Chains A and B, each alone.
Chain A
Amino acid sequence: MCDECGCAHPSTVFLKNRLRKIDLQVPVLQANQDYAQKNRETFSSHGLHVINLISSPGSGKTTLLQAMAAKLGAQMAVIVGDLQTDRDAVRIRAAGCQAIQIETQGACHLDAKSVGEQIPLLNLSGVKLLVIENVGNLVCPASYDLGEHEKVVLLSVTEGDDKVLKYPSIFSRVSTMVLTKMDLHPHVDFDLNRAEMECRSLSPEVKCLRVSAKTGAGMDGLLQHWA
């Protein structure tokens, strides 16, 4: 038997390697896009508006959702991703709306399949707005379509106004940018106009909002934007 490939040929002496090139021309994340399309159809069949909420860790995603939950209650539902713990889902539920936690066990982003698996676990009657709070990360979540209607990015004024062009893959795909922690703005050197101008240079149609979830400033405008 041939020692090389296990066939019935008596020897491995006269082996010849040939290369065969297969043209594929397919998006690397095709499987994710297929799941995302299924999610989109499910969301539409329930009449939901779905937001994929993306930011770096600690920029105020969960605090903003708590403030939104206090106003919208059962009209909003949240799927929240974190590497570990259900702390965010607990906070959002306590603020007044249903929330499901995905623990990614180390993965740095949510994908469409993991989100799709959570949809049947939600009670969607009366829900108009579904927010998917992504894992805190400005890089990896940009690549993964979850089936959302829009990507929304948060940038807190404590992070610095130079972040937009440092992370173009996300800021070029957003329809809304929310500048958060505006109550801290008097204490930091964050040029609001620079951040908004640079975001518009990547996404010309982007809607820019300024909010303090802590004081409530700007919250009405934010809720009207998604009403």
Chain B
Amino acid sequence: MHEVSIAESILDLIERQLGAPQALAEVELCIGPLSGVSAESLEFCFATVAKERGFGVPGLSIQRTQVVIHCDSCLETYSVDDLMSFCPHCNSWKRTIQSGDELQLVSASLIEVSHV
């Protein structure tokens, strides 16, 4: 599985934005069922990789999207979690996938320590 490389890519993007590693409270992602990335595996390894690289122990907030499908037979649009089922409206297999491969870094929350 390649979720460690995915975790490294996320932290590379954040580090490029910040200039250097900094303690993070939370990282927000959007992952689709067709991204090829397992959200569970990423949750398992993310904090460990982040800690090793000096980003503290951030939580991961994952927004899971569905696959959006256009039925080429009845022309309805519907959303599913997996692709095992027929069109719920007309039972057709003829379909065009419109989205579901998202793998997006949405935001990062930094912990800023200041003296009062």
**Are A and B interaction partners?**
yes
Which residues of A pack against B, CB within 8 Å? 2, 4-5, 7, 9, 14-32, 107-109, 111, 139-140, 142-143, 165, 168-170, 172-173, 197-198, 200-202, 204
Shortest Cβ distance from B26 into chain A, in angstroms? 8
* Residues on B with beta carbons closer than 8 Å to the beta carbon of A15: 113-116
Q: Which 7 residue pairs are nearest across A and B when measured between Cβ atoms?
A: A169-B36, A140-B2, A14-B116, A143-B36, A142-B36, A201-B93, A18-B112
Chain A residue nearest in CB terms to B112: A18
How many A-B pairs have beta carbons closer than 8 Å: the answer is 124
Query: B72 in the interface, Cβ–Cβ < 8 Å?
Result: yes
Query: B101 in the interface, Cβ–Cβ < 8 Å?
Result: yes
| 8 Å CB contact of A20 from B36, B84, B97, B110 | B110
Let me know if A168 and B1 touch, CB within 8 A: no
Let me know if B105 and A139 touch, CB within 8 A: no
Report how many residues on chain B are interfacial, defined by Cβ distance under 8 Å.
Answer: 41
Q: A28-B9, A204-B72, A204-B94 are in contact. Are A17 and B111 (CB under 8 A)?
A: yes
* Residues on A with beta carbons closer than 8 Å to the beta carbon of B10: 28
Let me know if B35 and A169 touch, CB within 8 A: yes
Let me know if B110 and A19 touch, CB within 8 A: yes
* Residues on B with beta carbons closer than 8 Å to the beta carbon of A7: 115
* Residues on B with beta carbons closer than 8 Å to the beta carbon of A16: 113-116
Let me know if A24 and B107 touch, CB within 8 A: yes
Inter-chain CA distance A202–B84, complex, in Å, is 10
* Residues on B with beta carbons closer than 8 Å to the beta carbon of A204: 72, 94-96
Chain B residue nearest in CB terms to A30: B13
Inter-chain CA distance A25–B29, complex, in Å, is 9
* Residues on A with beta carbons closer than 8 Å to the beta carbon of B95: 201, 204
Query: B57 in the interface, Cβ–Cβ < 8 Å?
Result: no
